Amino acid sequence: MRLRFAPSPTGYLHVGGARTALFNWLLARQAGGAFVLRVEDTDRDRSRPEHVDAILGGLSWLGIDWDEGPVFQADGLARHRRDAEQLLDAGRAYRDFTAREDFERARDAAVAAGTGTVARLAREMAAAVSPEESHRRAAAGEPFAVRFLVPPGTTEWHDLVHGRMGFDNGEIDDFVILRSDGTPTYNLAVVSDDGAMAITHVVRGDDHISNTPKQILLYEALGAPVPSFGHLPLILGPDGKRLSKRHGARAIEAFEAEGVLPDAMVNFLALLGWSPGTDEELLSRDDLIERFSLERVLKKGAVFDAAKLFWMNGQYIARMGAGEVAAMLRGMLGGVGGAGDDAGRAAVGPGEGGGGAGAGEPGPDAIPLDDAAFERMATALAPRSRTFVEMARLARPYIAPLDGYDAKAARKSWYRDRAGTAELLRAVLDGLASTAWEAEPLEAALRGLAAERGVGAGKIFQPLRLALTGLPASPGIFDVLLILGRERSLRRVGRAIAHIEDDP
Ligand code: GLU
């Protein structure tokens, strides 16, 4: 099997293109065939080198490697012209000297008159020019387009997704294959290239279905073998309409920037229109290569659900080893353990004080955590994070000074009884000061304190959590204490007491 991905570099690699590339790649890898990359850059005005870079970069990020290419379609211009000439010589195409405006005027008149001859209008107009005259005018340098002479009959194929498909040739107009400036149209270029690259299977979006009969007719007229075709369902937004930017039809790069992992993205893209036939959702690359098949591709639209992508990404994070999570988080924070450098700050984003009162924690921006504490933090945050970007944000209270207390949480668990809370936290401070800094003694100390005072443990954990992290939610309180370490924990509790007592 020889498959290809043939993007036009008129935009970035988006979800639909990435899915087309992935399905072709999966089929090639499964069959031990070839996956060829062809850049369809014949539209000189709209093609941009930065889009080529973005497409190649997006594929590389996804781990979709190609065996041949990138081949640039524009390099095949001479062959495209030769193929058009072959069709002219064989009488399967004709020169059309009609100026565009003249054609459009005649077409509008035919539509207004309801004569129903629009599909053959170009042919009727060209018939006024004899073959000799056509030669003479071409030789004299008069510009002309080349149109394919659509034969009578029907064009059918067995679509690998949709099954039998067919078009009545009478519905297909004599389409242009070579423009008057000598450039090929999409249908000629694609057939010429797929033929030259010996492509056996063309798998692409449903939006190309109406091109397929034209392309099959061209293969046949050129005497080239016709590849198999499979058309993938459109990707829809949650509202059932064609996926738009609003729904997440962003460049693949944007998902990378949001912290989506390539394996999760590949898994998610694979399920956009394909299902393994069970309710399994987490499938590795190897699983996908083994189990993918076009027979299990949906015929109707596939719905893009961004929430599912982020859920899936969280599942991938949850399955990573502690060391790997820590390394990824370090990378996200800018290659250092703390958030002090610019890269770390950028990844972490604005502080989370939420308008709360300042914690007034002095000192350098970055708080160095030792490797064990950093790994403990990463492990504790992993189940709470759908992406590493989110994890970096959640890590902030542990790697940078507190820049405030969540105002709502402070009202709820501190300010209702300022004196009582300050007294409670003072008891916590005393208790912890004499406790060994390990999970079990810390737990025994805090639970003992709760029992002693006849309150539920939560009555202690919540005000303490706010003192330690500035937030109403965090990993388990013992994890928090161990990540921050004795000195910083005690200092933060002391500072919280001062803040609470400092009645505004
Ligand atoms: N260049 C075309 C596109 O980006 C794809 C052509 C094809 O796959 O046949 O839509």
Q: What is the pLDDT of residue 339?
A: 39
Atom of ligand 1 nearest to the CA of 10: 4
Tell me what the pLDDT averaged over the chain comes to: 90
Largest pairwise CA distance in the chain: 109
User: Which residue CA neighbors atom 5 of ligand 1 most closely?
Assistant: 6
Q: How far is the CA of 5 from the centre of ligand 1 (A)?
A: 8
Atom of ligand 1 nearest to the CA of 215: 9
User: Which residue CA neighbors atom 7 of ligand 1 most closely?
Assistant: 6
Q: How far is the CA of 237 from the centre of ligand 1 (A)?
A: 22
Q: What is the pLDDT of residue 364?
A: 53
Task: Report whether residue 265 contacts ligand 1, using a CB cutoff of 6 Å.
Answer: no
Instruction: Return the best residue to mutate from 204, 216, 219, 229 for the ligand 1 pocket (most ligand atoms within 8 A of CB).
Output: 204
Torsion-angle region of residue 323: left (phi > 0), alpha (psi -120 to 50) or beta?
alpha
Task: Report whether residue 6 contacts ligand 1, using a CB cutoff of 6 Å.
Answer: yes
Cα distance between residue 86 and residue 299, in whole Å = 37
Instruction: Return the best residue to mutate from 8, 15, 51 for the ligand 1 pocket (most ligand atoms within 8 A of CB).
Output: 8
Q: How far is the CA of 264 from the centre of ligand 1 (A)?
A: 25
Categorize the per-residue pLDDT at 120 as very low, low, confident or very high, splitting at 50, 70 and 90.
confident
Residues paired with 147 in a beta bridge:
94, 176
Whether 245 is a known active-site residue: answer: yes
Give the angle subtended at the CA of 372 by the CAs of 370 and 373, to the nearest 5°.
65
Q: How far is the CA of 42 from the centre of ligand 1 (A)?
A: 12
Task: Report whether residue 8 contacts ligand 1, using a CB cutoff of 6 Å.
Answer: yes
Task: Report whether residue 190 contacts ligand 1, using a CB cutoff of 6 Å.
Answer: yes
Q: How far is the CA of 197 from the centre of ligand 1 (A)?
A: 15
Categorize the per-residue pLDDT at 44 as very low, low, confident or very high, splitting at 50, 70 and 90.
confident
Give the HSE-up count for residue 470: Cα atoms under 13 Å, Cβ half-sphere: 25
Q: How far is the CA of 222 from the centre of ligand 1 (A)?
A: 20
Residues paired with 2 in a beta bridge:
34
Categorize the per-residue pLDDT at 196 as very low, low, confident or very high, splitting at 50, 70 and 90.
very high
Q: Which class for 325: exposed (0-12), middle (13-18), buried (19 or more C-beta within 10 A)?
A: buried
Q: What is the pLDDT of residues 281-311, one digit of tens each?
A: 999 999 999 999 999 999 988 999 999 999 9
Atom of ligand 1 nearest to the CA of 204: 8
Cα distance between residue 282 and residue 191, in whole Å = 37
- Asked if 120 and 173 count as a contact pair (C-beta separation under 8 A), the reply is yes
Q: What is the pLDDT of residues 149-172, one digit of tens each?
A: 999 999 999 999 999 999 999 999
Atom of ligand 1 nearest to the CA of 7: 4
Q: What is the pLDDT of residues 315-366, one digit of tens each?
A: 999 999 999 999 999 998 884 444 333 333 333 323 333 334 445 555 555 6
Q: Is the pLDDT of residue 271 over 60?
A: yes
Q: What is the pLDDT of residues 213-258, one digit of tens each?
A: 999 999 999 999 999 999 999 999 888 888 876 666 678 988 998 8
For 112-171, the three-class secondary structure string (H helix, E strand, C coil) is HHCCCCHHHHHHHHHCCCCHHHHHHHHHCCCCCEEEECCCCCEEEEEECCCEEEEEEHHH
Categorize the per-residue pLDDT at 128 as very low, low, confident or very high, splitting at 50, 70 and 90.
confident
Most trustworthy range by pLDDT among 27-36, 121-130, 302-311: 27-36
Active-site residue (options: 214, 241, 245, 408): 245
Q: Is the pLDDT of residue 73 over 90?
A: yes
| Torsion from C-alpha of 307, 308, 312, 318, nearest 10 degrees | 50
- Asked if 231 and 204 count as a contact pair (C-beta separation under 8 A), the reply is yes
Q: What is the pLDDT of residue 360?
A: 52
Classified as helix, coil or strand, 315 is: helix
- Asked if 134 and 95 count as a contact pair (C-beta separation under 8 A), the reply is yes
Q: What is the pLDDT of residue 103?
A: 86
Task: Report whether residue 204 contacts ligand 1, using a CB cutoff of 6 Å.
Answer: yes
Task: Report whether residue 40 contacts ligand 1, using a CB cutoff of 6 Å.
Answer: yes
Q: For the packed helices 439-453 and 477-501, what is the interaxial angle rounded to 10 degrees?
A: 50
Say if strands 68-72 and 34-39 run parallel, antiparallel, or are unpaired. Answer: parallel
User: Which residue CA neighbors atom 6 of ligand 1 most closely?
Assistant: 6
Q: How far is the CA of 8 from the centre of ligand 1 (A)?
A: 7
Instruction: Return the best residue to mutate from 51, 201, 208 for the ligand 1 pocket (most ligand atoms within 8 A of CB).
Output: 208
Look at the block and give the residue holding tokens 């959590």.
Answer: 465
Q: What is the pLDDT of residue 237?
A: 87
Q: What is the pLDDT of residue 365?
A: 59
Task: Provide the percentage of residues in the chain whose pLDDT is more than 90.
Answer: 78
Q: What is the pLDDT of residue 375?
A: 96
Q: What is the pLDDT of residue 341?
A: 36
Categorize the per-residue pLDDT at 127 as very low, low, confident or very high, splitting at 50, 70 and 90.
confident
Q: What is the pLDDT of residues 376-412, one digit of tens each?
A: 999 999 999 999 999 999 999 999 999 899 999 999 9
Q: What is the pLDDT of residue 54?
A: 94
Q: What is the pLDDT of residue 484?
A: 96
Cα distance between residue 265 and residue 413, in whole Å = 40
Q: What is the pLDDT of residues 437-475, one digit of tens each?
A: 999 999 999 999 999 999 999 999 999 999 999 999 999
Atom of ligand 1 nearest to the CA of 40: 1
Q: Which class for 224: exposed (0-12), middle (13-18), buried (19 or more C-beta within 10 A)?
A: middle
- Asked if 330 and 336 count as a contact pair (C-beta separation under 8 A), the reply is yes
